[in-house]
Amino acid sequence: MALALTLLSVFTLAGLVLSSLSGWALSHALGGSTSAARHIALAVPTVLFSLFTQSMILFFFIGTGKMLKEAAAKRPDAAGRDYILARVRAFKIKTSALCTFAPLSALATGLLGVTAHTGKTPGWLHLVAAIACVLLHVFAFGREVVAMSATNQLMDEAATLVPPAPGETAEQT
């Protein structure tokens, strides 16, 4: 599942970059090769794809978090339970806000694009929002891929995992 979500995120990033480039070409009228219709035809599905992908990643962490909490509850040692639950909380802290704000940035960028096209807001505002949207998605991609990988590893090891000694971090073990 993590691999599929990673691929969906890569497709989302590609769509964001392509729609950003088509918007830039449209604003600079490079040989008249890019029309507003082409930019919109790229941007609208990309926004929807971002909403879908980030929602699925959020559901991945909700589902795996529930499974890890159940696995922690079955452990006889309190240290193992506490360690697993702390890791689950850390994954959620690193990813929940990104899964929420990345698609919202895409939606806001799209809405600003509509208002820029109709002349209600300046075009530079849509450009700044598009750059911020792409950067936020890239940042989210990095955090989410690492967290999904660590979640899968924790799920594989939850029953037999020996928590680190006090004072050690998970990376030191």
The mean pLDDT value for 154-161 works out to 79
The mean pLDDT value for 101-116 works out to 94
Name the band, by pLDDT with cuts 50, 70 and 90, for residue 172. Answer: very low
> Which of 35-39, 93-97, 125-129, 133-137 is the least confident region?
35-39
Q: Which residue has the higher pLDDT, 80 or 10?
A: 10
Task: Enumerate the domain spans of the chain.
Answer: 2-157
Q: How do residues 15-56 score in pLDDT, each as one tens digit?
A: 999 998 888 877 776 555 567 888 888 999 999 999 999 999
How does DSSP assign the chain, residue by residue? Answer: -HHHHHHHHHHHHHHHHHHHHHHHHHHHTSTT---HHHHHHHHHHHHHHHHHHHHHHHHHHHHHHHHHHHHHHT-S-HHHHHHHHHHHHHHHHHHHHHHHHHHHHHHHHHHHHHHHHTTSS-HHHHHHHHHHHHHHHHHHHHHHHHHHHHHHHHHHHTTTPPPPPTT--TTT-
The pLDDT score that the predictor gives to residue 158 is 76
The pTM assigned to this predicted structure is 0.82
